[in-house]
Chains A and B, each alone.
Chain A
Amino acid sequence: MGDQIIQSILDGLVSGSIYGLMAIGFTLVFGIMHVINLAHGELYMLGAFTTFIMVGVYQINFFVAILAAMLIVGGLGFLIERYIFRPLRNTAMLNTLLASIGLSIFISNLVLKIAGTGMRSIPTPFSDKSFTIIGATISTHRLMVLLLTALLVAVLFWVIKFTKFGRSLRATSQDQDASALMGVNINLTYGLVFAISAGMAAMAGGLIGSLYVVDPTMGLGPGLKAFIIVILGGMGSVVGAIVGAFVMGYAETFTSLFWAASYQDLVGYILLILVLLLKPNGLFGGAKR
């Protein structure tokens, strides 16, 4: 049993970091632009497909493919922000929520129609070697996912805290008008934030798609989970998103261990409701804007 628990702890770490990638992108967009993008899961799915096409069809190097997927989906994100979310910017929040739902349905079904329901896998360059840490094993692939995610998050933190661009992001999220008066190009900033968020989702898609399978509906579950995690952790809080991601990851892993795998989805919702009842703005949520 002890071994199983340690294994679960390691598995939860991997789960949590993957959820974290999704959740951070989601919360960035909400925190800075006050947009809830329920099509986030579809950007993740598109990242997986793009990676699949590059590696599987064009035989491009795995890491390069993921990078390319990030750029391509990021670019798509920029366009989505420009043509769908920008026109809705000063209207009720309900509108962007609904538009993103429509987008989610559109994209996932479009890909379903074009690509069919078959599942695909992405060939990876990782060896079959596994590492053993304190009695638990982790494959090279999963270890790589963990490290890449940690790297990305670290870079993101550094950018937000120490660069001029990061300052403009924080300023814009705190006071859009004042930021504009400082000369910040609000339209460009929002477009870039969305693109970054999309890029992160795409990276998550490429990494997870290569761990499991790639199919058109793979974004629906994670998209919803990202939403739940972000509300759990506090909308707009990057720290909250990370903490929420690990809480979710571990709740699911341990539910699977002690109860049954089929209850994993249920646990997420129950956790959400419990947390919201105690802390209506989520674990790290600040005052309502």
Chain B
Amino acid sequence: MNNNRMKIGTIIAVLVVLSVLPFLLDSYLIHILNQIGIWVILTASLNLMVGYTGQLSFAHVGLFAVGAYTSAILTTSAGFSFWTSFPIAAIVAGVLGFIIGLPVLRFKTHFFAIVTLGFGEIIRLTIYNWRDLTGGPNGIYNIPFPTNILGLDFALREHFYYLILISAVLVVLFVKLLIGSRTGKAMIAIRENENFALFVGINTWKVKIFAFTLSAALAGFAGSLYASYNSYISPYSFTVSESVSILLMVIIGGMGTIIGPILGTTFLIFLPELLRSVSEWRMVIYGGLLVLTIMFMRDGILGLIKSFVRKKKHHSEKNLLSTGKEEAAIAGSERN
């Protein structure tokens, strides 16, 4: 009981601190935090697939792009406001995710990875070549900021900050609730051992499609925030390189946990700022970090922290990455 109270207490404290940061930090740091916030939503979406359902998807950058472009086109050419565009962007991305997911989700690990990469690339190349709609390699300029509400002027980074903060918090909360639900347990079971999950009666197909569609919609939402925040998007922001970066953030932070991707995103976006002097070595470090993470700290930074805490406390903490059999049994016995 004490443990839970401490957890909730910490979370509230963190949220309070986050809410007052715009008054304490300078504009540039706020800008970085804003980017972290948007990427947190994106990594949370990828984490749903990679960390929780165990499917390595490279399509998310494409869905991110679809969300960004949908929102951008609606707010520029069609004159919609951001507030109507972002749900549409999320839905369009979600539907696209559903359509891609249908044929692709039956493939296993590496097939799934390469085919999603293919789709991600097809999306990018389509955007690149369809000049009339997307502006081609030039991208879309002058994407308007969201119209002011509640006295907030979103042209100001400090004010946009609150939109991003609330969105990120809501998304993370949503993911946490989802993971705790029957469906969430089913997802974990599939990640651990898909055959076993099938055996226990989980409709793995339905769960995977659901996870993929949902994560696509979340990626689309992140995309629309991205478009409105940066006022300019181009196909160059949505390449394989970005796909890999998102993956890195999820894994290095600690996949399959709620906080892991948040840590990973923060770490990987702050890192180039901290290591200004070695910024040219950034990618080399990332690559090496990924290899080392997979080999020695498969639970990522979060795993490191946890084992450190565990050693200090001599407690046997409940392992978040359980065998999944419990989850499978629970999820399977109450037929989905």
A and B touch in the complex (CB under 8 A): yes
Which single member of A102, A227, A276 contacts B289 (CB below 8 Å)?
A: A102
Q: Assess whether A107 is in contact with B287, with CB atoms less than 8 Å apart.
A: yes
| Binary CB contact string for chain B from 261 to 301 against chain A (1 if under 8 A, 0 otherwise) | 00000000000000000001101101111111111001000
For the complex, give the distance between the alpha carbons of A266 and B293 in Å.
33
One of A15-23, A87-95, A123-131 contacting the partner: A87-95
Contact in complex: B109, A93 (CB < 8 Å): yes
Chain B residues within 8 Å of chain A by Cβ, number: 38
For A276, list chain B residues within 8 Å (CB). Answer: 107, 111, 115
Known A-B contacts A269-B118, A276-B111; A102 and B291 likewise in contact (beta carbons under 8 Å): yes
Q: Would you list which residues of chain A between 268 and 289 have a CB under 8 Å from chain B?
A: 269-270, 272-273, 276-277, 280, 288
Band of interface residues on A: 35 or more
B-contact 0/1 string along A234-274, CB 8 Å cutoff: 01000000000000000000000000001001100110110
Interface centre among B54, B247, B287 (most CB of A within 10 A): B287
A103 within 8 A of B: yes
Q: In the complex the two chains form, what is the Cα distance from A50 to B56 in whole Å? A: 34
A109 within 8 A of B: yes
Q: Would A277 and B103 be within 8 Å (CB), given that A105-B286, A266-B125 are in contact?
A: yes
| Structural contact, B115 and A102, CB atoms closer than 8 A | no
Interface residues of A in 94-115 (CB under 8 A from B): 94-95, 97-99, 101-110, 112-113
Is there a chain A Cβ closer than 8 Å to B110's Cβ? yes
Q: Which B residues are CB-close (under 8 A) to A103? A: 287, 291
Instruction: For residue A15, give the distance in angstroms from its CB to the closest CB of chain B.
Output: 20
Q: A277 CA to B291 CA in the complex, in Å?
A: 32
Nearest residue (CB) in A for B125 is: A266
Distance between Cα atoms of A104 and B240 in the complex (Å): 13
Cα–Cα, bound, A224→B115 (Å)? 12
Is there an interface contact between B115 and A273, defined as CB atoms closer than 8 Å?
yes
CB within 8 Å for A270 and B122 given contacts A101-B244, A113-B284, A277-B103: yes
- Whether the pair A105, B111 counts as a contact (CB closer than 8 A) is no
Closest beta carbon of chain A to B120's beta carbon, Å? 9
**Interface residues, chain A, with chain B CB atoms under 8 Å away:** 36, 84, 87-88, 93-95, 97-99, 101-110, 112-113, 224, 227-228, 231, 235, 262, 265-266, 269-270, 272-273, 276-277, 280, 288
7 A/B residue pairs, CB under 8 Å, sorted by A: A84-B295, A97-B109, A98-B247, A99-B295, A109-B284, A110-B287, A272-B115
Instruction: List the 9 closest pairs (A to B, CB-CB), nearest first.
Output: A102-B290, A106-B287, A105-B287, A109-B283, A102-B291, A269-B118, A109-B284, A99-B294, A106-B288
